[in-house]
């Protein structure tokens, strides 16, 4: 290709540019890459490092003023986008005794995974769920929700959880709406445990019609989840990559609890030296129990309880640990499955 | 219409008869009735009356010789068909301490609803479930299953349950197969509770693929079911026909536990005077707790715990009770829904 | 087993009989057979034999008096039940020029497969479909429908079609309702071809919501079906049992056109010597084109165009023909699949 | 709030920044907007303006060198992203007589909507479809595809079509893979029209199992689509916003032809003055027939055949036209529905 052609083409590109046109052939290899080539990087946030910042944030701003007092975990390669992976948001939220995080609703779906502290609640659609470490709680799309940490006899304690939201997804599709509730706290119309009794016991009300893409139970207590893991760990073959890994389920459909976010809990047995796997759904992990090592794209990360780490799309992933470890995780798998673009390799 | 025409027609009918032909117009009103016109009648089997017969059958035949020692409840209007409704079979099965009901499998799906006694088990596909009164247990289509009542330290007790099967359905569609297992008792490959831990805790194994029309959990313990009813009873509006009524669910799909039989549990509150309803799915009830009255097609039946009664298709149904009552029931609703022929009126 | 035991048992059976109880163990092998053991027999109805009876029926009764002037094809082993298989009904219906078969609706779903004649119509829900030989037409459950054969310039001709209904199924589940329309002919609100344009062109109205278990198109013209068979016959591998076999589809779901009846069209190539297959869905065939031989449960039947034959559940089936043959068929496959009891062997 | 607090917070933000942390409360209103606030703008590309650039591109680069000779339509507010909406890509592709666009496959799904010229083909998975103006053709995710314009007797003519791809979606989820075929042109294994005969005639092969999220027919000829529109236009109520609007269907499921892109065809009748509607799925339109006016977010655009225009998420949309107009369009509606975030207002 000689220079004349190059010059002619360049001139052409300039002329069409003002008509909002671009020559595909100059970009095709970038637009249709041979394999995932996103910016997202592996990273680990140490809870020991973060915890003092949370305390400090409690002095700098109240939950009510902040609306949500959250330190957002931004992927080092995606700074300025409030994203921990290209499609998902994660943050650590703290609520102090006596505080309320006021009621609102939005198109974005959210999960809460409790990290530390007892006594706070999340209220969804007229029902409260008390939050215990290890509990997984959903605040579904377009549902009124607020959080509170009522003062206890003994004064209470800060309660901290990991928030996971589909903020980047809803932003990408330009489909977000939001509203504040007229009061900070929504009225309670059903007693705690009602949703779980109604939908979570392998029974459903006889006239129940699914009207939402989200699970009708919004709290998955850790006690039950841990018991399930324990039973399977004692008696099952261990997957060579994942240990014993379960996914949370919408009991009214058998599908994912939320249409945009998959959630998982897994136990890695003692003395586990896992095999390598990859998947196109970048995944955020929160350590529930145990210390161990994870190799992500050949980088080593040592984790301990309450740490958060992120595995990018198609990055190689391998677990190694001496102690038994329990890991909560979430990803955009439901979307990739619905779109037919999920790919895995083991 | 004169006699000549009648005679001509009669002669014609006779001539075509030998060609396996029949004139529709003489039968149209019967074949396409204005509303359900089946033979099935309301009936109640009193446990007090039946119980001695079960005892007696224990003397007359062993579980092993009988294969299944069951007294079949035949609808009074369907004698000779082994049917309690046009489409369903019901019977009371007893197994004595030390007995085994040998392993086999068949196309027919079965439910077991435990009426009396403790200590027996049902084994399905390598896993046993201990049977307690009020438990609902499934032996799915084409799955090896056997029952046993191991001798206890104190000698044990007879265990009695209600069997519900789709025998008439599979017979009607001419699609039944059966096989005996090579030994009376199948080998056990998973510990008790494994299925419930794996599938019944609002979690699923991450790589689970539904491969069957039947629920992957085969035991729904009464303790959990009763707790759900209790929670809803305390806090909910009571349905004016049904009290608080739940349906059992296949947690991997949100659908029915079996493709042919729906199962329900309901509590009628104290001082309940229900409204009338009808449905085209004839339903078999087993009384779990409480004494009450049921009006079926304007006939009065007084029931007490462990009694069985049957409500025909489209018969009016009304409950009336002073005591709190708990009722288990089953019907062919999944089939009627799949076929688009279910009709209800309230 | 000695006589005493036998006598005791017999006495016991007699005593429990009056309580509507029956000992399962005496019937278990019949109730749970090792393989399908229904009464349904193979049979063929020769059109040459039947056609004169249809003519004769036209003299004996008018379509209006008969409501539906149909000669029902009763399985030789199921006489008196209006059934051609245990679950399905078939009959040949004739409508003469100038006649109307008055409008009614019922829970039963019906198919019409046109055998002979042109110029008649079936009206469904305000739209008419003109009937041509080879067309497959549906009158869905609980939909007003009537048939007519308007007098033509040249006088017109009798139009004859095969009716297939789920009458035995709806009767078995005791779920049938029926109503007559207030007038013989329902009003027409949409032009012919409207449903096919709206739903049958691989497009759907943008706000269409499926509200029925039945296909929104009710006419599948033979011209399109024959063209599809021809294209595949010329270029495809021929299935060694079935030749080229297609199933009719509900274009709004990809499922069966009706919830209770599957319909198929197949072409057997020239010089075809098929392999044996079996299936639990007993099937009714109507010969569209060609003469050939079919072996059913080792009985030979020679067929020609317009003949009807029936293959019982699990009977062996084998085709053999010199001429190219086209066969329409229907069975209860959708039900057996929904119930998880369909079994095939090839 | 005094300056001290502000200063303290600013200092805090700086300290946490290096730990990849960000205070949510400073960004919450941007991250969870009250309504869609994306950058995408309304725009129209006049074919009269573009056409000469396509001709010119034909002189500057061959289809083979370019792989795909496409001028990408970039949204004026999304320059540099190869996106016409936040989630979709569009471009005009030209192939000259004698040229081949070489075979490759990728995770991205593509649609081709033919704008001008005859005689070219798209080959998908061993079958070719000849391209006529108005035809809608799919090249599914991960399917080998190539295009060619074989030289004709008379020399042939350039063929131009609109490409629509989910490139931004697959990039956002970081899930794209691509491969080139070993030769420019894939081998042909099935004759043209085979897929349409097999899957597009309201029939399916009797043993067909859906194995893909994409329609098994990949060509929807304009002739059929236009006939459907015409039939409905003559006889139907016209929607006050949309005229007569149909969506293309996957005939094996009744769902969308592709998992990521919805496609529509609509006719606006003569003298149409439409009402305003909005939707969160930003939509790209290609004008097939007629001249008219469209108001997008209160901006007026006058269109004529072969023009392309884009309607952003939640922008108001209103049609006005004297001539009958036919419009093809596509959007990310299947994704928004699967995610439960689609919102419409009329």
Mean of the per-residue pLDDT values of chain D? 96
> Residue C80 class from Cβ within 10 Å (0-12 exposed, 13-18 middle, 19+ buried)?
exposed
- Residue B346: what pLDDT? 92
Mean pLDDT value of segment B17-31: 96
Pairing, β B89-95 against β B70-73: antiparallel
Residue B287 CB neighbour total at 10 angstroms? 23
Q: How confident is the model at residue D278 (pLDDT cuts 50, 70, 90)?
A: very high
Residue C124: DSSP 8-state: E
Cβ of residue D13 closer than 8 Å to a chain A Cβ: no
CB-based contact C194 D253, cutoff 8 Å:
no
User: Which has the closest alpha carbon to A136: A299, A8, A258, A313?
Assistant: A258
Residue B79 CB neighbour total at 10 angstroms? 12
**C57/chain B closest Cα distance in angstroms:** 8
Cβ of residue C210 closer than 8 Å to a chain B Cβ: no
Which residues fall within 8 angstroms of residue B3, CB to CB, at 6 or more apart?
none
Q: What are B56-87's pLDDT values in tens digits?
A: 999 999 999 999 999 999 999 999 999 999 99
Tokens representing A290?
């145990």
Q: Is residue D12 part of a domain?
A: no
CB-based contact C203 D247, cutoff 8 Å:
yes
Residue in A with minimal Cα distance to D280 = A175
- Residue C295: what pLDDT? 98
Which residues fall within 8 angstroms of residue B150, CB to CB, at 6 or more apart?
B97, B98, B119, B121, B156
Q: Which residue has the higher pLDDT, B4 or C164?
A: C164
**B28/chain C closest Cα distance in angstroms:** 8
**Looking at C209-213, D38-42, D169-173, which range is the least confident one?**
C209-213
Cα(B127)–Cα(B125) distance, integer angstroms: 6
Q: How confident is the model at residue C87 (pLDDT cuts 50, 70, 90)?
A: very high
SS3 label, residue D38: coil
- Of all helices (H) and strands (E), which one includes residue B66? helix B63-66
A abuts C (3+ Cβ pairs < 8 Å): no
Cα(B284)–Cα(B297) distance, integer angstroms: 15
Mean of the per-residue pLDDT values of chain C? 96
User: Which has the closest alpha carbon to D47: D16, D8, D92?
Assistant: D92
Q: How confident is the model at residue C170 (pLDDT cuts 50, 70, 90)?
A: very high
In this prediction the pTM is 0.96
Query: What subunits touch chain A, counting only 3 or more CB pairs under 8 A?
Result: B, D
Write out residues 216-255 of A within 8 Å (CB-CB) of D. none
Report helix angle C47-60 to B3-17, nearest 10: 170
Cα(B225)–Cα(B246) distance, integer angstroms: 9
Residue in C with minimal Cα distance to B71 = C23
Cβ of residue B188 closer than 8 Å to a chain A Cβ: no
Q: How confident is the model at residue D209 (pLDDT cuts 50, 70, 90)?
A: confident
Residue B271 CB neighbour total at 10 angstroms? 10
Beta pairing partners, B22: C72
Residue B277: DSSP 8-state: B
Q: Is residue B29 part of a domain?
A: no
Q: Is the pLDDT of residue A15 over 80?
A: yes
How many domains would you assign to chain A?
Answer: 1
Q: What are C38-54's pLDDT values in tens digits?
A: 999 999 999 999 999 99
Percent of chain D whose predicted confidence (pLDDT) is above 90: 94
Of D191, D245, D248, the CB nearest to C202: D248
- Cα distances (angstroms) measured from residue D236 to each of C201, D231, D232, D265, D320: 17, 8, 5, 16, 19
- Residue B151: what pLDDT? 87
Q: Is residue D291 part of a domain?
A: yes
Q: Is residue A11 part of a domain?
A: no
Cβ of residue C160 closer than 8 Å to a chain B Cβ: no
Q: Is the pLDDT of residue A173 over 80?
A: yes
- Residue A155: what pLDDT? 79
Using a CB-CB cut-off of 8 Å, the residues of chain D touching C227 are 197, 201
CB-based contact A197 B249, cutoff 8 Å:
no
Give the largest CA-CA distance in chain B. 83
Of D190, D224, D254, the CB nearest to C201: D224
> Residue B207 class from Cβ within 10 Å (0-12 exposed, 13-18 middle, 19+ buried)?
exposed
Of C56, C174, C178, the CB nearest to B40: C174
**D155/chain C closest Cα distance in angstroms:** 30
User: Which has the closest alpha carbon to A283: A306, A260, A312?
Assistant: A312
Write out residues 37-56 of B within 8 Å (CB-CB) of A. none
- Residue C138: what pLDDT? 97
Cβ of residue B25 closer than 8 Å to a chain C Cβ: yes
Cα(D35)–Cα(D37) distance, integer angstroms: 6
Beta pairing partners, B71: B92, C23
B abuts C (3+ Cβ pairs < 8 Å): yes
Q: Is residue B30 part of a domain?
A: no
**Under a CB-based contact definition with an 8 Å cutoff, are residues A241 and A327 in contact?**
no
CB-based contact C21 B72, cutoff 8 Å:
yes
Using a CB-CB cut-off of 8 Å, the residues of chain B touching C43 are 20
Q: Which of B145, B173, B315 to mutate to test the interface with C (most CBs of C within 10 A)?
A: B173
Residue in D with minimal Cα distance to C237 = D190
Mark out the alpha helices in chain D (DSSP H runs).
3-17, 28-31, 47-60, 63-66, 167-172, 194-199, 222-235, 333-339
CB-based contact A194 B220, cutoff 8 Å:
no
Q: What are D241-254's pLDDT values in tens digits?
A: 999 999 999 999 99
- Residue B211: what pLDDT? 83
- Residue D237: what pLDDT? 78
Residue in B with minimal Cα distance to C336 = B173
- For tokens 């080229």, the residue is C244
Beta pairing partners, D159: D95
Q: Is the pLDDT of residue B180 over 80?
A: yes
Mean pLDDT value of segment C182-188: 95
Q: Is the pLDDT of residue B301 over 60?
A: yes
- Residue B209: what pLDDT? 87
Of A205, A232, A251, the CB nearest to B197: A232
Q: Is residue B13 part of a domain?
A: no
**D337/chain A closest Cα distance in angstroms:** 10
Using a CB-CB cut-off of 8 Å, the residues of chain A touching D57 are 12, 23
Write out residues 308-327 of A within 8 Å (CB-CB) of D. 312-314
Cβ of residue A107 closer than 8 Å to a chain D Cβ: yes
Of D193, D203, D247, the CB nearest to C248: D203
Tokens representing C294?
């079919």
Percent of chain C whose predicted confidence (pLDDT) is above 90: 94
CB-based contact B24 C70, cutoff 8 Å:
yes
Q: Is residue A168 part of a domain?
A: yes
**C334/chain D closest Cα distance in angstroms:** 13
Q: What are A29-78's pLDDT values in tens digits?
A: 999 999 998 999 999 999 999 999 999 999 999 999 999 999 999 999 99
Using a CB-CB cut-off of 8 Å, the residues of chain C touching B74 are 20-22
Mean of the per-residue pLDDT values of chain A? 96
Q: What are B234-281's pLDDT values in tens digits?
A: 887 799 999 999 999 999 999 999 999 999 999 999 999 999 999 999
CB-based contact A235 B194, cutoff 8 Å:
yes
Q: Rounded to 5 degrees, what are φ and ψ at B73?
A: -90, 105
Q: Is residue A178 part of a domain?
A: yes
Domain of D294 in residue numbering reads as 37-345
- Residue C1: what pLDDT? 54
Q: Which residue has the higher pLDDT, B37 or A25?
A: A25
- Residue D1: what pLDDT? 54
**B161/chain A closest Cα distance in angstroms:** 21
Of D12, D79, D175, the CB nearest to A60: D12
Q: What CATH code is carried by the domain that includes residue A305?
A: 2.60.120.10
- Residue C161: what pLDDT? 98
Using a CB-CB cut-off of 8 Å, the residues of chain A touching D49 are 19
Q: Is the pLDDT of residue A1 over 70?
A: no
Cα(C131)–Cα(C192) distance, integer angstroms: 11
**Under a CB-based contact definition with an 8 Å cutoff, are residues A97 and A149 in contact?**
yes
């Amino acid at each position: 290709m000689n220079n004349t052609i190059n010059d002619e083409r360049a001139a052409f590109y300039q002329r069409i540019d003002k008509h909002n046109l671009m020559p595909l052939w100059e970009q095709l290899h970038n637009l249709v890459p041979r394999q995932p080539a996103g910016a997202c990087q592996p990273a680990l946030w140490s809870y020991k490092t973060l915890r003092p910042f949370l305390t400090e944030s409690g002095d700098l701003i109240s939950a009510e003023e902040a609306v949500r007092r959250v330190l957002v975990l931004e992927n080092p390669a995606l700074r300025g986008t409030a994203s921990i992976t290209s499609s998902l948001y994660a943050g650590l939220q703290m609520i102090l005794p006596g505080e309320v995080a006021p009621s609102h609703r939005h198109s974005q779906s959210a999960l809460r995974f409790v990290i530390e502290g007892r006594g706070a609640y999340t209220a969804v659609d007229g029902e409260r769920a008390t939050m215990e470490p290890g509990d997984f709680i959903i605040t579904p799309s377009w549902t009124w929700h607020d959080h509170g940490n009522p003062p206890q006899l003994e004064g209470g304690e800060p309660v901290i959880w990991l928030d996971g939201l589909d903020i980047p997804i809803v932003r990408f599709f330009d489909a977000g709406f939001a509203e504040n509730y007229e009061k900070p706290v929504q009225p309670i119309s059903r007693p705690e445990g009602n949703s779980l009794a109604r939908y979570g016991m392998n029974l459903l009300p006889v006239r129940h019609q699914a009207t939402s893409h989200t699970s009708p139970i919004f709290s998955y207590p850790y006690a039950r989840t841990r018991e399930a893991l324990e039973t399977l760990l004692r008696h099952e073959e261990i997957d060579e990559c994942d240990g014993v890994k379960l996914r949370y389920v919408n009991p009214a459909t058998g599908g994912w609890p939320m249409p945009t976010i998959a959630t998982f809990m897994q136990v890695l047995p003692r003395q586990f030296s896992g095999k390598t796997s990859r998947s196109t759904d970048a995944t955020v992990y929160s350590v529930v129990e145990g210390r161990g090592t994870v190799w992500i794209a050949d980088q080593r990360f040592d984790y301990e309880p309450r740490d958060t780490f992120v595995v990018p799309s198609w990055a190689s992933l391998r677990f190694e640990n001496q102690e038994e470890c329990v890991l909560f995780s979430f990803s955009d798998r439901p979307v990739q499955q619905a779109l037919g673009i999920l790919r895995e390799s083991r």
